[in-house]
Amino acid sequence: MTSEGAGRRNNTKDDPLSGKVIGAAIEVHRVLGPGLLESAYEECLCRELKESEIGFKRQVSLPVVYKDIKLDCSYRLDIVVEDKLILELKTVDVLLPIHESQLLTYLKLSGIRTGLLLNFQSVLLKDGIKRLVV
């Protein structure tokens, strides 16, 4: 598993989809700034993705598989982009290890390899982005 901050070099060099999504998220943050609810950023980010013709699904149900039994535990992925990238939106003062753990678990359960934590509460969005790859 690797974890990368958005500001690190070559973060999205081999992952143009993450780069496009980060660009859309930065546009949303540039227009709205910090201080709103996650739901507002989700709505606006989905609008940006749609305008950019990037395929996505919202609030995707994620079952938990326990001993080969699928359980509906009401987990939901905020946004799944092109069935390749999970976006977990946050509006918190600081991204904590538990937020990374949450996304890592979502990646494991879904079989998707790449995820972005996007903290819209950050003054500069680039400081509130973490890319995780399993």
Q: In this predicted model, what pLDDT tens digit does every residue of 52-63 receive, in sequence order?
A: 999 999 999 998
Asked whether the predicted pLDDT for residue 126 surpasses 80, the reply is yes
φ and ψ at residue 102, rounded to 5 degrees = -60, -50
Q: How confident is the model at residue 73 (pLDDT cuts 50, 70, 90)?
A: confident
Q: Are 29 and 113 in contact (CB under 8 A)?
A: no
Contacts 24+ apart (CB under 8 A), 50-53: 52/20, 52/24
What angle, rounded to 10 degrees, do the helices at 38-51 and 16-32 form?
A: 120
Q: How confident is the model at residue 74 (pLDDT cuts 50, 70, 90)?
A: confident
pLDDT digits (tens, 9 = 90+) for 2-25: 555 443 334 566 789 999 999 999
Q: Are 3 and 126 in contact (CB under 8 A)?
A: no
Q: How far is CA 101 from the centre of its chain?
A: 13
Mean of all residue pLDDT scores within the chain: 91
Answer yes or no: CATH 3.30.70 is held by domain 2-133.
Answer: no
